[in-house]
């Protein structure tokens, strides 16, 4: 059974001789009823505050969940970006290595061609000197023969 301020105000007591003053009792009951009304109002306000706080708490929990979900998604996205960047870097490095190897082969081939050309030019120079010596000997022999003929005629 719930006690209300109206129940307190309307409470009647039996009368006895040499008992309490009914006016004082009634005044006290009115005072208790007023205090009780204040407590009821305060309780109602506190219940409203509790309900509001529960709503706010639920909202904050939802916000926290959303932030947590967003953080997880962001972490996954960052991991994906990092993975893609690493794969891209690996592809770039592989392409660079391949290109470097091709350029190295090309340069080695060019160097070999230049060595062959240098060897060929050396051989041509050696042949040129040999032919020039041979020509000079032939000219010397011819001059010697001409001198002999000239000295024999005299």
Domain ranges of the chain: 5-9+21-149
- Give the integer Cα–Cα distance in Å for 24 and 10: 14
CB atoms closer than 10 angstroms to residue 82: 10
Instruction: Please name the residues in contact with 135: beta carbons below 8 A apart, sequence gap of 6 or more.
Output: none
144: pLDDT strictly greater than 80: yes
Residues 6 or more apart whose CB falls under 8 angstroms from that of 149 comprise none
- On the question of pLDDT at 138 being above 70, the answer is yes
Q: pLDDT tens digits, residue range 17-41? A: 677 778 888 898 899 999 999 999 9
Q: Count the neighbouring beta carbons within 10 Å of the beta carbon of residue 44.
A: 10
- Band of residue 6 on the pLDDT scale cut at 50, 70, 90: confident
Rounded distance between C-alpha atoms, residue 29 and residue 11, angstroms: 8
């Amino acid at each position: 059974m719930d006690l209300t301020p109206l129940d307190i105000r309307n409470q009647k007591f039996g009368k006895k001789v040499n008992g309490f003053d009914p006016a004082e009792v009634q005044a006290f009951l009115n005072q208790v009823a007023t205090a009780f009304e204040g407590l009821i109002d305060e309780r109602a306000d506190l219940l409203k505050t509790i309900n509001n706080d529960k709503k706010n708490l639920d909202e904050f929990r939802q916000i926290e969940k959303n932030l947590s979900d967003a953080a997880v998604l962001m972490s996954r996205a960052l991991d994906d970006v990092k993975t893609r960047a690493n794969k891209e870097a690996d592809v770039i490095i592989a392409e660079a290595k391949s290109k470097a190897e091709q350029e190295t082969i090309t340069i080695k081939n060019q160097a070999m061609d230049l060595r062959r050309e240098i060897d060929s030019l050396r051989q041509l120079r050696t042949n040129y000197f040999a032919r020039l010596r041979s020509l000079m000997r032939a000219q010397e022999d011819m001059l010697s023969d001409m001198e002999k003929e000239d000295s024999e005629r005299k």
